[in-house]
Amino acid sequence: MITPLKKPPMLLERVRDNITSVRDRLVNTIIENRDVEKIISSYDRSSTFFYCDPPYYGLADYTSQGSKPFSKEDHVRLKECLAKIDGKFLLSINDHSEIRKLYSGFNIKQVEVRYSVCRTDKSSMANELFISNYEMRVVE
């Protein structure tokens, strides 16, 4: 005989609380996967915050989940779009000299990150860049 639990286990309560918390924080958030120029022209206002996570720079034929390759020209186009916005942006990308040069007029912070996806050793450390059009404060 299966008896229903009178009280959900503690883990399930935390999951429910976390989901509720995330839902509350994202209630006015829009997440899209479209061409950068279309997104920016649709939503750019002084109160808009754009988080950009383009495919890594300098990786041959790098695609994101089956999409077409993101070329050097696409990176330049992204930068040109971001240079004109009224809102704020934060871009995260791999640390590459060409990216540093491309975004040289913006605020750039280097952060060390641990990559575990698709790694066999689960502990690969690398530098990534946070690039923005506002003064950033990175909390260690």
Domains and CATH numbers, the chain: 31-132 (3.40.50.150)
- Successive 10-residue mean pLDDT values, the chain, 140 residues: 56 80 85 87 94 84 61 93 97 95 96 69 78 87
Q: Please classify residue 131 by burial: count the beta carbons closer than 10 Å to its beta carbon, then call 0-12 exposed, 13-18 middle and 19+ buried.
A: buried
Please give the model's pTM, rounded to 2 decimal places.
0.72
- Please report, for residues 18, 90, 92, 93, 109, the alpha-carbon distance to residue 73 in angstroms, rounded to integers and kept in the order given: 40, 20, 18, 16, 23
pLDDT of res. 92:
95
Amino acid, single-letter form, for residue 2: I
